């Protein structure tokens, strides 16, 4: 039976504050390793939003598909750098994600 208080079940809201916190922790070698779950959850959220925008029936949702795909790509790059142990690289990719999401109006 799953533990209902498990961190995987917690709601995550992608915000400027969350990204700033993650970036700071990624740049701190003592805290960097603790960011994986949040990065994976962010990627999962953006993948679903991208999929829904791409599959949506109206032209407005389709116009969001490409920008969301770009955000997904940047989060994938963030996680890849994280997995390699390149925490400064992950922080840099996350910062680029934040800039793009802000330009897209999704942050």
Q: Which pairs from 21-29 meet CB under 8 Å and 24+ separation?
A: 22/94, 23/91, 23/94, 23/95, 23/98, 26/82, 26/87, 26/88, 26/90, 26/91, 26/94, 27/87, 27/88, 27/91, 29/87
Residue 95 has pLDDT above 70, yes or no: yes
Confidence at residue 59, expressed as pLDDT on a 0 to 100 scale: 47
For residue 39, CA distances in Å to 2, 56, 57 come to 22, 26, 29
Range from 6-10, 31-35, 72-76 carrying the lowest mean pLDDT: 6-10
pLDDT exceeding 70 applies to what percent of the chain? Answer: 78
Give the tens place of pLDDT for each residue, 29-69: 899 988 999 999 999 888 887 765 555 555 444 445 677 88
Report the pLDDT value the prediction gives residue 97, as an integer from 0 to 100.
Answer: 95
């Amino acid at each position: 039976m799953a533990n209902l208080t498990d961190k995987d079940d917690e709601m995550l809201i992608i915000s400027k504050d969350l990204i700033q916190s993650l970036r700071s922790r990624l740049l701190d070698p003592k805290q960097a390793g603790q960011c994986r779950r949040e990065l994976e959850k962010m990627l999962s959220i953006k993948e679903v939003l991208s999929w829904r925008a791409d599959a949506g029936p109206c032209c407005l949702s389709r116009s969001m598909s490409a920008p969301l795909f770009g955000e997904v790509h940047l989060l994938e790059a963030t996680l890849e750098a994280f997995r390699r142990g390149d925490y400064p690289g992950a922080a840099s990719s996350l910062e680029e994600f934040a800039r793009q999401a802000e330009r897209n109006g999704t942050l």
